Amino acid sequence: MQGITVNKYEGNKMNVVAFRSGEARYANARETIYALIAESSDGMTSKEIAQRTGWALHTFGRRLTELKDAGKIRSTGQMRYGAEVWIAYRAFPMQLLIEAA
């Protein structure tokens, strides 16, 4: 990553620091979004996340995609108020434990 960063910003240390602080901001946004979804009892939509955080809808869509790609959240297949409902993915959902018993 450093090579890409240095090449992109031509070795300017101030630009590299700014780039890395942006990475930290995105990580913090991912953590915030994941925590909100994980704490909700019936999942959350992007509209609900925007309402709870005060962020504009278009500012965190990529963070949802990153969480989905990392396997931390998944869609329920349901829509609420015209938006997809997301839940935190758990390796062993209670339903699987009940079915196994």
The structural domains of the chain, ordered by start, are 2-100 (1.10.10.10)
pLDDT at residue 91, as a whole number: 52
The predicted-structure confidence for 23-67, as pLDDT tens digits, reads as follows 566 678 899 999 999 999 899 999 999 999 999 989 999 999 999
Average of pLDDT values for 80-86? 93
Specify the pairing of strand 83-88 against strand 73-80: antiparallel
In the predicted model, is pLDDT for residue 15 greater than 60? no
**Degrees to nearest 5, angle at CA 35 with 31 and 38:** 135
In the predicted model, is pLDDT for residue 18 greater than 50? no
pLDDT at residue 23, as a whole number: 56
* pTM for the full predicted model: 0.65
- Mean pLDDT for the chain? 77
